[in-house]
Chain A
Amino acid sequence: MKIDATKPLEYGSEENSNKIFGFWIFLGAEIALFSTLFTVYFVLVNRYATGPNGTELFELSGVLWETFLLLSSSFTIGLAVHSMRLGLKKPMMIFFGLTLLMGLGFLGIEITEFFTYVHEGATISTSAFTSSLFVLLGTHGAHVSFGILWGASILLQVKRQGFTLATANKSFIFSLYWHFLDVVWIFIFSFVYLKGLM
């Protein structure tokens, strides 16, 4: 395999660069996916039948914590990639681990949020509005959950093998995924929660 030493390790072979490029295309497809979920939400947002609407359900404090955690985890994964490019394994692993922990924190708050909604009588079956709320938030949450599992497996590989063409490539691609989830959250924060509370 020809290694290009002028590029960071994650781009260092043709196969590596192609994988990163391919993952960007996948993120384009994910943009289409989440746009569809947002479309469904906006079409159904006012169809809450006899159930609660957003203003009654949403609580700003939980949302602010979720936003802070996800934004900070995006920061730490960026720092992880930066450390990786400097060849610093321990800092990279610490930043990576912090990212996953904050992801877990985010999930904890979101799961509590869901349980609260159900407790207050807003389940997935209550109305079109609650269905679309749960599926939009839930799809994002499922992506975060999958990401945590995926990230953990990559962290383990970095621990065992250090920075190789393969582990650097996977770590960088994971960071793209994680940043993308933060982008989606920004729109959820703004147009689901804030708009709902307006």
Chain B
Amino acid sequence: MKWDEFFVTGEPMIYGAMASIVLATIAIIVGLTYFKKWGYLWREWLTTVDHKRIGVMYILSALIMLFRGGVDAIMMRFQTAVPENKFLDAQHYNEIFTTHGLIMILFMAMPFIIGIMNVVVPLQIGARDVAFPRLNAISFWLFFVGAMLLNLSFVIGGSPDAGWSAYFPLASLEFSPTVGNNYYSLALQISGIGTLLTGINFIVTILKMRAPGMKLMRMPMFTWSSLITSVIIAFAFPVLTVALALMMFDRIFGSQFFTMSNGGMDMLWANLFWVWGHPEVYIVILPAFGIFSEIIATFSKKNLYGYTSMVVSMVVISLLSFLVWAHHFYTMGQGAMVNGFFSITTMAISVPTGVKIFNWLFTMRKGKITFTTPMLYSLAFIPIFTIGGVTGVMLAMASADYQYHNTMFLVAHFHYVLIPGTVFAVIAGFHYWFPKVFGFKLNERLGKHAFWWIAISFNVTFFPLFFLGLQGMTRRMYTYSAETGFGPLNLISFAGALGLAFGFIILVYNIYYSIRYSPRETDGDPWDARTLEWATSSPIPAYNFAVTPNVKGRDALWSAKHDNQPIFDGKIEPIHLPSNSGKPVILGAVFFVFGFSLVFSWWIPAIISGIGILIVLASMSFDRDHGITVSVEEIMETEKKLRGETL
């Protein structure tokens, strides 16, 4: 072991980061000890199997990762703001754009979405938890461990630096001899397992645990989007599992999958990565569409227009998403027939999304619209995302793509679908469901300020990039000469990035401000909404619903409030809940040791922790804990306390 390769040395900024990590860790440990909260932390959060708590942990992690990914972005935009800037050298720039991509997609967007799914879906279908609560906790801890591994890389061993897509031969051992891309392979593999388990969990939950009367075509649209997303996850993530394993074998065990000799095929990596990668972007966008469907319907005081076509369009998208992947590498050398086929499927996939845009517009037509913060994000999404969408159709044409590919045009396109799509949706969803979980709303004034800063700055940041791309500026370029003329538009883009940063600071400040000053609500339905999750109190009791709801149509809560269709017409019965368990977090810890050991090729610790994983799994198999029962008296007590009334 070369110890000077263990800790990253020679970089002032990284020394600063190491110091902050150590200080923050000490602060957390001291704080927990001083306030005597270790027991609380273990009992209420580290061992929880409650979907609401797990969801909150996912979202908190995502917010922290948003900060790190955002700082990466500011650094990149600062570096490229003027020609021949010396802020970051090429190696650093590579590490930063790699980390930015990995964090934003896999450790910000995915957990944010999965966190919202965790909080909302069981409530929307009238269930008490997901199908497999302990597996759910395992999913969270595996994600967390993967995120920790990746975040550790820049101070220990070195960041991955071959892009979030880690193409070979650059990502091979020959051209990336440090451990950075080992971190890539292992961190993504571990959190990927967690995601796959989530997909399976939610498929079973949604198909098998709906309240009586909630037929599939009566489900809220966010639940439908979660179901279809979970199906895509279940079948796409195994492809990533294989790809990452082959990468690990090449880098650590000397296999010849993606090498440039002995029969290896470097392009095969790109192929496998994108077979997963394209469905992945639909995994992050479909729940966003579901969130917008809920918010637009609620704040137009109308039911969602075109329910059936919304469902059908998502099913079609899920199937087509597996048929378009080669559009990510039109220029790699396959023949025109191949490119022609994938151009057609790629253009086709825009059609069902277009259907959805029209349905949202028709939902708003003749509705009673209130311009709350979540609604503002949803309204902004429609035109701005459409720009991303139509530029996607431009890119879909293989022959034209030879001009656009890997220029800033592409970078602008995908940010125009990811940010107005996924990011706006999770922020809107965060504002929308926040009062359901915490019992008070986020401040509207601050929320709107943040929105305007973010929405306008986003366009200032990314619109110029379309033109830079058309002028010939390639992506992932750490600098450029003044003669290229790329300077002015990059400077404007940097100004926009500062505006985005400011907007996000207001958003974070809003959380603090609201905790201190927002009036606490006892009403579980602050927005006068339409779906079942709003029929619980806020905060929500552990068992969700005291009485299992009886559903008689779509938008069950709306019908209950306005059409005299009561949903809670049963009597209270004892409720069976799963017990907390320490095994998921312990399993996560062992996986961390396993992953870290493999990154550095420390075989003995790897084997020991590998056996450790099997031991924890065996102990779970021999577990005979069958959970706890909440008595009728306890339920009535809790309901009285939360609602100030009896059922």
Check A32/B239 contact, CB under 8 A, given A25-B234, A135-B245.
yes
Q: Which residue of B lies closest to A45 (CB)?
A: B263
Residue among B204, B249, B262 with most chain A CB within 10 A: B262
Question: Are A129 and B576 in contact (CB-based, < 8 A)?
Answer: no
Is there a chain A Cβ closer than 8 Å to B82's Cβ?
Answer: no
Q: Looking at the complex, which one of B234, B239, B257, B262 makes contact with A28 (CB distance below 8 Å)?
A: B234
Question: Are B621 and A150 in contact (CB-based, < 8 A)?
Answer: yes
User: Which residues 13-66 in B have Cβ within 8 Å of A in the complex?
Assistant: none
> Min CB distance, B535 to chain A, in Å?
23
> Min CB distance, B620 to chain A, in Å?
10
User: Which residues 373-410 in B have Cβ within 8 Å of A in the complex?
Assistant: none
Chain B 254-281: CB-based contact to A (< 8 A → 1; otherwise 0)? 1111010111110010001001000000
Question: Are A127 and B263 in contact (CB-based, < 8 A)?
Answer: yes
Question: Are A29 and B238 in contact (CB-based, < 8 A)?
Answer: yes
A36-44, A66-74, A78-86, A184-192 - the one binding chain B: A36-44
Chain A 26-62: CB-based contact to B (< 8 A → 1; otherwise 0)? 1011101100110110011001111100000000000
Question: Are B256 and A131 in contact (CB-based, < 8 A)?
Answer: yes
> Min CB distance, A17 to chain B, in Å?
8
> Min CB distance, A124 to chain B, in Å?
5
Is there a chain B Cβ closer than 8 Å to A75's Cβ?
Answer: no
Total chain B interface residues with beta-carbon distance under 8 A: 44
Is there a chain A Cβ closer than 8 Å to B2's Cβ?
Answer: no
Question: Are B622 and A153 in contact (CB-based, < 8 A)?
Answer: yes
User: Which residues 89-131 in A have Cβ within 8 Å of B in the complex?
Assistant: 124-131
User: Which residues 3-40 in A have Cβ within 8 Å of B in the complex?
Assistant: 14, 17-19, 21-22, 25-26, 28-30, 32-33, 36-37, 39-40
Instruction: Kindly list chain B residues whose C-beta atoms are within 8 Å of the C-beta of A21.
Output: 204, 207-208
A134 to B256, CA, bound (A): 11
Instruction: Kindly list chain A residues whose C-beta atoms are within 8 Å of the C-beta of B256.
Output: 49, 125-128, 130-131
Q: Which residue of B lies closest to A134 (CB)?
A: B255
Question: Are B242 and A44 in contact (CB-based, < 8 A)?
Answer: no
Instruction: Kindly list chain B residues whose C-beta atoms are within 8 Å of the C-beta of A29.
Output: 196, 199-200, 234-235, 237-238
Is there a chain B Cβ closer than 8 Å to A181's Cβ?
Answer: no
Q: Looking at the complex, which one of B257, B259, B576 makes contact with A40 (CB distance below 8 Å)?
A: B257
Is there a chain A Cβ closer than 8 Å to B241's Cβ?
Answer: yes
Is there a chain A Cβ closer than 8 Å to B3's Cβ?
Answer: no
Question: Are B200 and A22 in contact (CB-based, < 8 A)?
Answer: yes
A110 to B246, CA, bound (A): 21
Is there a chain A Cβ closer than 8 Å to B517's Cβ?
Answer: no
Question: Are A132 and B235 in contact (CB-based, < 8 A)?
Answer: no
Q: Looking at the complex, which one of A22, A129, A130, A150 makes contact with B204 (CB distance below 8 Å)?
A: A22
Is there a chain B Cβ closer than 8 Å to A1's Cβ?
Answer: yes
Question: Are A32 and B272 in contact (CB-based, < 8 A)?
Answer: no
Question: Are A40 and B268 in contact (CB-based, < 8 A)?
Answer: yes
A50 to B204, CA, bound (A): 49
> Min CB distance, B430 to chain A, in Å?
29
A84 to B138, CA, bound (A): 31
A48 to B263, CA, bound (A): 6
Check A170/B272 contact, CB under 8 A, given A30-B238, A125-B255.
no
> Min CB distance, B418 to chain A, in Å?
25
> Min CB distance, A146 to chain B, in Å?
8
Q: Which residue of A lies closest to B235 (CB)?
A: A32
> Min CB distance, A86 to chain B, in Å?
25
Question: Are A33 and B131 in contact (CB-based, < 8 A)?
Answer: no
Is there a chain A Cβ closer than 8 Å to B253's Cβ?
Answer: yes
> Min CB distance, B380 to chain A, in Å?
36
Q: Looking at the complex, which one of B196, B246, B262 makes contact with A49 (CB distance below 8 Å)?
A: B262
Instruction: Kindly list chain A residues whose C-beta atoms are within 8 Å of the C-beta of B204.
Output: 18, 21-22, 25
Instruction: Kindly list chain B residues whose C-beta atoms are within 8 Å of the C-beta of A158.
Output: none
Residue among A124, A130, A150 with most chain B CB within 10 A: A124
Is there a chain B Cβ closer than 8 Å to A168's Cβ?
Answer: no
A166 to B627, CA, bound (A): 14
Question: Are A126 and B262 in contact (CB-based, < 8 A)?
Answer: yes
Instruction: Kindly list chain A residues whose C-beta atoms are within 8 Å of the C-beta of B237.
Output: 29
Chain B contact residues, majority secondary structure: helix
Check A131/B272 contact, CB under 8 A, given A18-B208, A153-B622.
no
Chain A 168-196: CB-based contact to B (< 8 A → 1; otherwise 0)? 00100000000000000000000000000
User: Which residues 228-251 in B have Cβ within 8 Å of A in the complex?
Assistant: 234-239, 241-243, 245-246, 249
Is there a chain A Cβ closer than 8 Å to B366's Cβ?
Answer: no
Instruction: Kindly list chain B residues whose C-beta atoms are within 8 Å of the C-beta of A150.
Output: 621
Check A49/B254 contact, CB under 8 A, given A22-B204, A25-B200, A25-B204.
no
Instruction: Kindly list chain B residues whose C-beta atoms are within 8 Å of the C-beta of A129.
Output: 263
Question: Are B246 and A128 in contact (CB-based, < 8 A)?
Answer: no
> Min CB distance, A145 to chain B, in Å?
10
Is there a chain B Cβ closer than 8 Å to A64's Cβ?
Answer: no
Is there a chain A Cβ closer than 8 Å to B189's Cβ?
Answer: no
Is there a chain A Cβ closer than 8 Å to B624's Cβ?
Answer: yes
A170 to B254, CA, bound (A): 38
Is there a chain A Cβ closer than 8 Å to B132's Cβ?
Answer: yes
Question: Are B257 and A36 in contact (CB-based, < 8 A)?
Answer: no
Q: Looking at the complex, which one of A28, A124, A157 makes contact with B622 (CB distance below 8 Å)?
A: A157
Question: Are A128 and B131 in contact (CB-based, < 8 A)?
Answer: no
Question: Are B264 and A128 in contact (CB-based, < 8 A)?
Answer: yes
Instruction: Kindly list chain B residues whose C-beta atoms are within 8 Å of the C-beta of A19.
Output: 132
Check A36/B238 contact, CB under 8 A, given A22-B204, A43-B265, A135-B249.
yes
Instruction: Kindly list chain A residues whose C-beta atoms are within 8 Å of the C-beta of B209.
Output: 18
Instruction: Kindly list chain B residues whose C-beta atoms are within 8 Å of the C-beta of A25.
Output: 200, 203-204, 234
Q: Looking at the complex, which one of A14, A51, A124 makes contact with B249 (CB distance below 8 Å)?
A: A124
Is there a chain B Cβ closer than 8 Å to A149's Cβ?
Answer: yes
A18 to B135, CA, bound (A): 13
User: Which residues 565-623 in B have Cβ within 8 Å of A in the complex?
Assistant: 576, 614, 618, 621-622
Is there a chain A Cβ closer than 8 Å to B201's Cβ?
Answer: yes
Question: Are A135 and B246 in contact (CB-based, < 8 A)?
Answer: yes
A170 to B623, CA, bound (A): 12
Q: Looking at the complex, which one of B236, B249, B257 makes contact with A44 (CB distance below 8 Å)?
A: B257
A39 to B490, CA, bound (A): 43
Instruction: Kindly list chain A residues whose C-beta atoms are within 8 Å of the C-beta of B132.
Output: 18-19, 22
A153 to B620, CA, bound (A): 11
Q: Looking at the complex, which one of A44, A130, A157 makes contact with B265 (CB distance below 8 Å)?
A: A44
Q: Which residue of B lies closest to A165 (CB)?
A: B626
Residue among B131, B235, B242, B576 with most chain A CB within 10 A: B242
Chain A 125-164: CB-based contact to B (< 8 A → 1; otherwise 0)? 1111111101100000000000001100110010000000
Instruction: Kindly list chain A residues whose C-beta atoms are within 8 Å of the C-beta of B239.
Output: 32-33, 36
> Min CB distance, B621 to chain A, in Å?
5
Instruction: Kindly list chain B residues whose C-beta atoms are within 8 Å of the C-beta of A154.
Output: 621
Question: Are A47 and B263 in contact (CB-based, < 8 A)?
Answer: yes
Instruction: Kindly list chain A residues whose C-beta atoms are within 8 Å of the C-beta of B131.
Output: 18, 22
Question: Are A36 and B263 in contact (CB-based, < 8 A)?
Answer: no
Q: Which residue of B lies closest to A123 (CB)?
A: B254
New A-B contacts (4) at CB < 8 Å, excluding given A128-B263, A135-B257, A149-B618? A29-B234, A128-B256, A132-B257, A157-B622
9 A-B pairs with least C-beta separation: A47-B263, A128-B263, A33-B238, A131-B255, A125-B254, A32-B238, A36-B242, A49-B262, A49-B263
27 A-B pairs (CB sep. < 8 Å)? A18-B131, A18-B132, A21-B207, A25-B203, A29-B200, A32-B234, A36-B238, A36-B243, A36-B275, A40-B242, A40-B272, A47-B263, A47-B264, A49-B256, A49-B262, A50-B262, A51-B262, A124-B253, A124-B254, A124-B255, A127-B263, A128-B262, A128-B263, A131-B264, A135-B249, A157-B622, A166-B624
